[in-house]
Structure 1
């Protein structure tokens, strides 16, 4: 095998040549490292010695924009800052400047609906584990196409199964870091098993969360339940959904709202089970390990909660 020493011009040419289907959804990227916006997917790069790349040393958020409105922006920013603080990172710009960067990058992308992928990294400066080798924190913002599930998924529901992948320790589970190896393995597991999602379980048999989404149940007594937040990521959409669910308690459609452990028996006996996430909204689960849950179709509470979340998006902050 003969290797070629490439010139910068040859690299740029190869970047233009190397195309793959996923790039069609990459609309624009802002980078503090570049100091500007690019629209060519091949140029949407991060330095290889950025600790984000070789150590997963960074934090991120995925934020939905619908009809030019950014959903739960303040909540996502609070979680981003909290995650960063827990690993000793500072955002390289103010929240106001982050919002400006989003607005300008969205203008370049020229879309009203998008999924924003926002990363804050330790920055480039060496391949060791020493964070002080880095030259400083960086922010990378990628505007991508918003891909929603087809309506029939909400009518028919999805399937879940018990994960064999060990959950993260509580301290790391609460940080939305870029070290997502367990999450990747869970997604691989679900694809390999032919189910939509797998849910990880702690050493006591309590069910926690999916690879990128929260799981909640409507128990047999009509109580909407989420797992304790000490060993799961505090999902922004889940927390907002539970706020909106208070109206269903007042109307009598829910008995109450609780945070408590969820066991396998709770899932099997539940009236409804739901997956909640940024791109999912409130998605009904109708099968667990091949066994039907409830009526086997979208339940009334999942339907109403999904409607409440989507209506809430209409009042989100305009970019």
Structure 2
């Protein structure tokens, strides 16, 4: 068998030739390693010896842009900084400079609706586990097209089951690291089981989280409840949704808002169950392990919370306008 030895120009040509469907949604990428922005998907690359690639050594955030406004931008950047700090990873630039790079890359992408995939890596420099071999931390930002869930999904809800993948250790669960093997396996099992999501359960029998989403519920007393943050990531959209829910409490739609340990039995007895995340907003769960939840349709509070969140994305105080 003949194996070609490629020249740099041949490699660049092949990278641009090898297109696939998903690349159509990759609008622009900024890279500190390249020192700028590219709009060519085939050239949106990361060095193979970057610890992000071969060790998952980095942190990341996914930020949604709706109608030209980046939702919860500051909260995402602060969580990114917190995650990086926990693993001793120095950011390649201050947060205010990072904001400017984000704005400029979105401008180049020429879109008002997108999901920003922001990665901070330990950087290239070798293939061992030694983080000190890396030259310097790097930032990679990819602006991708945002495709919302169909409205039918919000009316009829989604099917959820119990995950067989062991939850992350409590300390690691609080860090949004790029080592997402457990999350990938959770998504794989949900697809294999023909479910929309699976939910982790810790050794004590308490619910944790889904692959990339949080689960919350309205209990039989009309209290909005989220799991304790002991072994789950502090979801920015979930936390903002709970802030917005204060208005529902004041209006009498809820009797309380709290955080406590939740079990599968709590799901079965709940009036409503919801998945909350950056890309899906507030999505009702209408079936868990084959059993109907609530009425089997979107609940009243789910619909109200979804409306509050979407309004907040467009004109709320947490929506940061992206300069044109």
Give the TM-score normalised by structure 2: 0.98
Aligned pairs for 1:211-226 (under 5 A) are 211-226=211-226
Per-residue deviation, residues 128-173 of structure 1 (Å, max 9, x unmatched): 0000000010000000000110000000000100000000000000
**How much has 1:233 moved relative to structure 2?**
0.4
Corresponding position of 2:282: 282
In 2: Cα distance, 1:81 partner to 1:107 partner: 24
Structure 1 CA distance, aligned partners of 2:13 and 2:82? 41
- Once the 2 structures are TM-superposed, how far is the Cα of residue 290 of structure 1 from its aligned partner? 1.1
Partner of residue 18, structure 1 = 18
Measure, in 2, the Cα distance between the counterparts of 1:42 and 1:317.
Answer: 30
Q: Distance in 2 between matches of 1:26 and 1:314?
A: 23
Q: Report Cα offsets for 1:248-293 as digits up to 9, x if no partner.
A: 1111111101100110110001000000000111000000011110
Q: CA deviation at 1:97?
A: 1.0
Aligned to 2:179: 179
In structure 2, how many angstroms separate the alpha carbons of the residues matched to 1:103 and 1:153? 31
Alignment pair present for 1:120 and 2:120: yes
User: Residue 75 of structure 1: CA displacement?
Assistant: 0.4
Unaligned 5+ segments in structure 2 are none
Q: Secondary structure at the match of 2:37?
A: strand
1:1-319 correspondence to structure 2 within 5 Å = 1-315=1-315, 316-319=319-322
Q: CA RMSD in A?
A: 0.6
How many residues of Structure 1 are paired with residues of Structure 2 in the alignment? 319
The 2-side partners of 1:262 and 1:228 are apart by: 8
Secondary structure at 2:230's aligned position in 1? helix
Displacement after TM superposition at 1:94 (Å): 1.3
Q: Secondary structure at the match of 1:314?
A: helix
After superposition, give the CA deviation of every residue in 1:13-60 in whole Å (9 maximum; x if it has no partner): 111110111101000000000000001111000000000000000000
Using the alignment, how far apart are the partners of 1:223 and 1:103 within structure 2? Answer: 39
- Quote the Cα distance in structure 2 between the aligned partners of 1:2 and 1:128: 31
In 2, the alpha carbon distance for the partners of 1:40 and 1:311 equals 34
Superposed displacement of residue 2, structure 1: 1.6
Segments of 5+ residues of structure 1 without an aligned counterpart are none
Q: Which whole-Å CA distance do the structure 1 matches of 2:256 and 2:101 have between them?
A: 41
In 2, the alpha carbon distance for the partners of 1:113 and 1:16 equals 25
Residues 70-111 of structure 1, C-alpha deviations (whole Å, 9 max, x = no match): 000110011000000000012111111111111111111111
CA distance in 1, matches of 2:143, 2:156: 30
DSSP-derived class of the 1:147 partner: coil
User: Runs of 4+ in structure 1 displaced over 2 angstroms?
Assistant: none
